[in-house]
Amino acid sequence: MTRSRKPNRSTRSDVAKLAGVSTAVVSYVFNDGPKPVAADTKQKVLKAAAKLNYQPNSMAKALRAGTSKLFGVIVPDFSNPFFANMNDSLEKEATKAGYSVLFMSSHLDGLTEQRCISRLLARDVDAVFGEFPQSGEVFQSLDARGCPFILFDYSRQAVGAKVVSSDFRQATQLATNHLLSHGYRHIAMLLGHGADPSDPRVQAWSEVHHAHKLPVGPIVRSDFTREGAYKATLSLLDNATDETGSGVRPEAIFACSDLEAIGALRALHERGIRVPEDMGLISFDGTKECLYTYPQLSSLRQDTKSIAKLAVKTALNPDAAPDVQLVPVQLDLRRSCGH
């Protein structure tokens, strides 16, 4: 077999030769100047371009204007429904602003993440959006060449980057207070490994318990994955004991992602624990996955459209944007927490 050769792309010189004009005139036609072109000459150029199927080099044009008209997006996992929603919202907003988007995944690996950032900067992207497992301080050491970084899953100030995110503190307060309103007094949180004690979710978790004069429920590190939450929930159920060793298990679980809630749901089913009759469950993200579990999951829904709109606006004018912009979440009540 022989590999078919890609046909040569028509050039500006080809159009100029066919139209009987200079290459400069072709450039003036497709760049709207800087010099005017007579109407009949312009028509000759356009007809020649159509006959040759000539496509101007939009990248070169953008670079001459001082912009690549290209955004970069890095997420940890393309298979996560939340990031799929976020990518879709960002792409739509970027298109409205006349930008294309280059998507990459770090695959939850710090070294891969750094390589993705370097590759995007080498492409002269006008901004990098993403959810970065590493601390925000990583951006301070980058040679970003004026390229703004916008974090959309990091709800506190980050050195060297702008933050446009859901309000994690508000979400945790909503979820915890709602579960407490059902009479649950022993609640556990499933949270990924990247969160530290200063994380707004951790702080709000403690604050709400203290406000109700209750012991702070356990925070179980589970990754933001189905498998991680499944294993963590099994361990929580099988090993949970209070200080007296009486084997008290949680009465409800707040999972900090829909995927974690799905993993927890399987573990609960396998242990014969009914949801919500025996244990309440509420999740964070609010993707469509919540509608197709049994029972359907109550969830804090992230407004990806509003986040994307603010994020693109920030990318276009970073100097005018606040360092942190937080978008409220919406509590969608379904059967898993008992309503």
Taking a C-beta distance cutoff of 8 angstroms, is the pair 201, 153 a contact?
no
CATH label of the domain that carries residue 272:
3.40.50.2300
127 and 80 both lie in a single domain: yes
The β-bridge partners of 325 are 164
pLDDT of residue 139: 61
48 and 145 both lie in a single domain: no
For residue 180, is it within any domain? Answer: yes
49 and 78 both lie in a single domain: no
For residue 62, is it within any domain? Answer: no
How many domains does the chain divide into? 3
Residue 95 has pLDDT above 60, yes or no: yes
Q: Which residue range(s) make up the domain with 42?
A: 12-56
DSSP 299-332: EEE--HHHHHHHHHHHHHSGGGS-SEEEE--EEE
pLDDT of residue 241: 52
151 and 257 both lie in a single domain: no
Residue 15 has pLDDT above 70, yes or no: yes
Residue 242 has pLDDT above 50, yes or no: no
pLDDT of residue 64: 55
pLDDT of residue 194: 66
pLDDT of residue 26: 84
The whole-angstrom separation of Cα 16 and Cα 24 is 8
For residue 61, is it within any domain? Answer: no
261 and 214 both lie in a single domain: yes
pLDDT of residue 244: 41
pLDDT of residue 143: 55
For residue 268, is it within any domain? Answer: yes
Strands 70-75 and 127-130: parallel
Predicted confidence band at 182 (pLDDT cuts at 50, 70, 90)? very high
**Range of lowest pLDDT (57-71, 250-264, 286-300, 303-317):** 57-71
Cα–Cα distances in Å, from 316 out to 87, 97, 209?
18, 9, 41
The whole-angstrom separation of Cα 325 and Cα 166 is 8
Burial 87-122 (b: 16+ CB within 10 A, else e): bebbbebbeeeebebbbbbbebeeeebeebbeebbe
For residue 258, is it within any domain? Answer: yes
- Quote the tokens at residue 94: 């970027």
Predicted confidence band at 245 (pLDDT cuts at 50, 70, 90)? very low
289 and 172 both lie in a single domain: yes
Per-residue pLDDT, averaged over 298-304, amounts to: 97
161 and 176 both lie in a single domain: no
Predicted confidence band at 60 (pLDDT cuts at 50, 70, 90)? low
pLDDT of residue 266: 97
Residue 176 or 192, more confident: 176
- Sorted by sequence, the CB contacts under 8 Å of residue 9 that are 6+ apart come out as 55
Taking a C-beta distance cutoff of 8 angstroms, is the pair 205, 282 a contact?
no
The helix/strand/coil state of 131 is coil
For residue 6, is it within any domain? Answer: no
Handedness of CA 198, 167, 287, 126 (dihedral sign): negative
For residue 1, is it within any domain? Answer: no
pLDDT (tens digit, 9 = 90+) per residue, 64-89?
A: 555 679 999 999 989 999 999 999 99
The whole-angstrom separation of Cα 26 and Cα 15 is 7
107 and 34 both lie in a single domain: no
Taking a C-beta distance cutoff of 8 angstroms, is the pair 224, 201 a contact?
no
Helix extents (H) in the chain: 12-19, 23-31, 39-52, 58-64, 81-96, 110-122, 168-181, 200-211, 226-239, 258-270, 304-316
180 and 288 both lie in a single domain: yes
CATH label of the domain that carries residue 45:
1.10.260.40
Average pLDDT, the chain: 88
Q: Which backbone phi and psi does 310 adopt, to 5 degrees?
A: -65, -40
The whole-angstrom separation of Cα 336 and Cα 339 is 7
pTM of the model: 0.80
The β-bridge partners of 163 are 151, 324
Residue 128 or 195, more confident: 128
